[in-house]
Amino acid sequence: MKSITIQGTKRESVGKKSTKALRDAELVPCVVYGAGEPLNFSSEEKAFKGLVYTPDAHTAELVIDGQTIPAVLQDIQFHPITDKILHVDFYRLSDDKPVIMEVPVRLTGRSKGVVAGGALRQSFRKLKVKALPANLPDEVVVDVTPLKIGSKLYVGDLKAKDFSFMHPDNAVVVAVKMSRTALKGGAAADDDEEEGAVETVEGAAEAPAAESAE
């Protein structure tokens, strides 16, 4: 997985006054947990652009007073009105300890059901995966080409190499539904739907932000 470098400075004081002073100076209070005592630091708000304002998944290389700490974003707080970043939590990565984080789902191909006039419905834009840091995938690629009208693709259908999905196998990732266009197509569309129809339990909503795996 690609990594974003964030330069930071250790915080000696963590009170409300010092936190306000940091924000007034357009700096973001941060903390990194894991492997010992939490480490408080601050960084420029613009340093988070490539980590936060992107659909891609990244780990972080925190460079704090010359010390480099590999980490993943665990939580982020925004101002309710201005959307400015107020606080960021990270979790320190260890080579031998699995972590859980969200990665984007990328659809490829054009499904047979869509060609027949059906509508593609994607239930998950991101999926929660668990892996050692070195095995975290940049994305989960899903080929929708075989899906006909009425077909659904489940988490259990996806291939995972060196990582696992933190969702039920019967969670629906993507499906092809009947549409008005397909209905106008008559019997041909009905045949496609009957052949590809599968019953399932719908998947849950998207998972929360990245977290550590104890």
When comparing pLDDT for 213 and 166, which is higher?
166
Asked whether the predicted pLDDT for residue 122 surpasses 90, the reply is yes
Query: CATH number, domain at 110?
Result: 2.170.120.20
Q: How many CA atoms lie within 13 A of 173 on its CB side?
A: 26
What CATH number corresponds to the domain at position 89? 2.40.240.10
Query: Residue 112 pLDDT > 60, yes or no?
Result: yes
Q: Which domain holds residue 8?
A: 3-93
Would you call 154 helix, strand, or coil by DSSP?
strand
- What is the pTM assigned to this prediction? 0.74
Q: Is the pLDDT of residue 162 over 70?
A: yes
Instruction: Check residues 199 and 179 and name the one with the higher pLDDT.
Output: 179
Whole-number Å distance between alpha carbons of 120 and 149? 9
Judge if 75 and 124 occupy the same domain: no
Could you tell me where the DSSP H helices lie in the chain?
16-24, 49-52, 112-115, 180-184, 187-196
- The tens digit of pLDDT for each residue in 186-203 reads 544 444 444 333 333 333
Strand 164-165 and strand 59-64: the pairing is unpaired
Which one is predicted more confidently, 93 or 210?
A: 93
CB neighbour list of residue 213: distance below 8 Å, 6 or more residues apart = 97, 98, 99, 100, 130
Structural domain total, the chain: 2
Are the beta carbons of 9 and 42 closer than 8 angstroms?
A: yes
User: Residue 149's pLDDT is what?
Assistant: 93
Supply the DSSP string of 141-169, one letter for each residue. Answer: EEE-TT--TT-EEEGGGS--SS-EESS-T
Instruction: Pick 118 or 16 by higher pLDDT.
Output: 118
